[in-house]
Amino acid sequence: MTGLLGRGALVNWGGVIASGEQDYNAWHSLEHMPERLSVPGFRRGRRAVAVDGTPETLKYFMMYEAVDAEVFVSEPYLARLNDPTPWTQRILSLYLAPSRTVCRVIESRGCGTGGWLATLQWATGSAAVLGETSASALVKKLIEMTGIVGVHVLKGDPKLGQQPTTEKKFRESQGEPDRTVALALLIDGLSLGETQAAMEAALEGLDNATRAACVATLYETQHVLTNADVGRG
C-alpha cells in the first residue's frame, strides 16, 4: 500500500466568504487544481468540506501531494504564485483564516483516498505537539480499524513556503496572515461513522496537553485530481 503520492505535501485549512463559495468551488476544481497539477513534481490534489457545525474558519481542507517538499519552492511553482490569474486573485481575496503549510511526509499507509477525512492539526508554537514516535504508533493502530483506507503523518517545515508571493498578498487581504501547523495527522475513511471512530480513537490515545492543543475536524471529500488527469504523467 503506497499511501500518499510522494514525500511532500501542502496542506490548507480555512473558510471562504459565504457569497463566494459557489465561485470558489468552481475555481478550485476547474482552474486551480489543474493549474497546480501541471507544475512538475505535483502528483495529486484534493478538496474537502467540513461536516455541519464546524467553524466557518475550518470549513474547507485543501491538499496537494508532491514528489518532495522542495517542489513547493521550485521555480515553476513560484512563477505560478507570482502570476495569479484574475479568477485566482478574486477567490483568494475571499479567504477567511487561511492556514497554509509545506510539510514533509513522515509516515503514510493506505491505498487511495476515502470519501471522508479526519484531520488532526497542531499549530506552530503549540504548547504540546504529538511526537513522531507516538504518531507512528497511531498510524499502525488506526490503519487496522474498519473502514480506514489511509493514515498519514505530516511535519510542517517552517523553512519552506513562506515567501512573500503575489498570491500571499491576496490570500491575506482579509487581514489575517497565513497560519502554519507543526504536525498533522490525516485519516482517510469510507464512511463518516468509521472515520469519526478513528479520529476519536486517535484523540483517546493522547495525553491531556497534546489533546487540548489539537484541532480535530471531519470532512467529506469533494474532488480529487491527479497529474495524470491533466495530462502530466
Grid cell at residue 187: 485519516
Could you tell me if 118 and 138 are in contact, meaning their C-beta atoms sit under 8 angstroms apart?
no
Q: Mean pLDDT over residues 47-61, rounded?
A: 97
Residue 51 has what pLDDT?
Answer: 98
Could you tell me if 13 and 59 are in contact, meaning their C-beta atoms sit under 8 angstroms apart?
no
Grid cell at residue 93: 481575496
Nearest Cα neighbor of 214 from 186, 192, 190 is: 186
Report pLDDT digits (tens) over 102-133: 999 999 999 999 999 999 999 988 877 777 77
CATH 1.20.58.220 fits 8-228, yes or no: no
* Distance, CA of 146 to CA of 195 (rounded, Å): 9
Q: 135 falls in which pLDDT band (50, 70, 90)? A: confident
Could you tell me if 76 and 39 are in contact, meaning their C-beta atoms sit under 8 angstroms apart?
yes
pLDDT at 1 over 60: no
Residue 233 has what pLDDT?
Answer: 66
Residue 158 has what pLDDT?
Answer: 87
pLDDT at 14 over 60: yes
Cα→Cα distances 134→21, 111, 129, Å:
37, 22, 10
Q: How far is CA 108 from the centre of its chain?
A: 14
The residues, ordered by sequence, that sit 6+ positions from 136 with a Cβ below 8 Å of its Cβ are 106, 107, 153
End-to-end CA distance of the chain: 20
